[in-house]
Amino acid sequence: MANAPTKPTTPVKQESSSASGAFASLTIPICLAIAICIFIFILGDPSHYKGGDVADGEPTDLFGTVHKGGVIVPLIMSYLLMVIVFSIERMVVIGKASGTGNVESFVKKIQSLLNSGQIDAASAECDKQKGSVANVIKSGLKKYKEMEIDQTMDVDQKTLAIQKDIEEATALEMPMLEQNLTIIATLVSIGTLTGLLGTVVGMIKAFGELGSSGAANPSALSNSISEALINTAMGIGTSAVSIVMYNIFTSKIDKLTYAIDETGFSIVQTFAASHKNSLR
């Protein structure tokens, strides 16, 4: 019986999960393709080099300098694009989950209505608020009303049924908020490692120049070291952005989870207290 309120929402959640997975599958190759195009056609434009010589000329601006970083650069650029795209996508999803109003104010209003026994008014507030938090709370309130008219269970069983319903509704809503966060978390490590790979490649070229010429070639050495440092800087920068965005989103999700737990506890305790008192 406790499963009844959550069953209708399951196909919707599965459909949203599939859409999110398809979004990720498309975003990754598209970001890589865009990064390659930027590297070739924008950063690699001859206007960024002395005499228009992309192969051997000296870069005249930042674009040319970044282009000198070599083939690892578009890979790291694609990581940065992914962080930006997935961050925007998570902002939209978490914003919708929060609902139309302030979550803290909404929780306080629901608790106030519960304390005064206005269950229908609390449910109406959930309809106004919308979002994942409101969906879970509304599911708990619906179960609350069902248990009030149920004559087959005692108070403890009814309280447990309400708690179970809230937990099931939460289990359906919360995974949607965490989807694609693993990609941002992965980019934290991959960004740094790819930057280090570019550094190693650049240093290998530098020592290769020394070995082949038998004497230090300042121009060749500077180009190779520049390639190494550009990749390092871009990799660290991408990882830094990824860490910041990941922490922001996990903090927002934790706040929503806390709001659900706090209100769910209030629903369960209100039902237990009011109905145990009525039996005395």
DSSP states of 139-175: HHHHHHHHHHH--SS-HHHHHHHHHHHHHHHHHHHHH
Residues 91 and 181: their CA atoms lie apart, in Å, by 11
pLDDT at 222: 72
pLDDT at 280: 47
Where the chain has pLDDT below 50, the residues are 1-9, 279-280
pLDDT at 3: 42
pLDDT at 213: 60
Q: Which residues contact 271 (CB under 8 A, 6 or more apart)?
A: 144, 147, 158, 159, 162
pLDDT at 13: 59
Residues 103 and 93: their CA atoms lie apart, in Å, by 15
pLDDT at 179: 85
Residues 271 and 120: their CA atoms lie apart, in Å, by 14
pLDDT at 23: 86
Hey, CA dihedral for 55, 56, 60, 65, is it positive or negative? positive
Alpha carbon separation from 249 to 85, 98, 113, 157, 187 (Å, rounded): 14, 12, 30, 37, 15
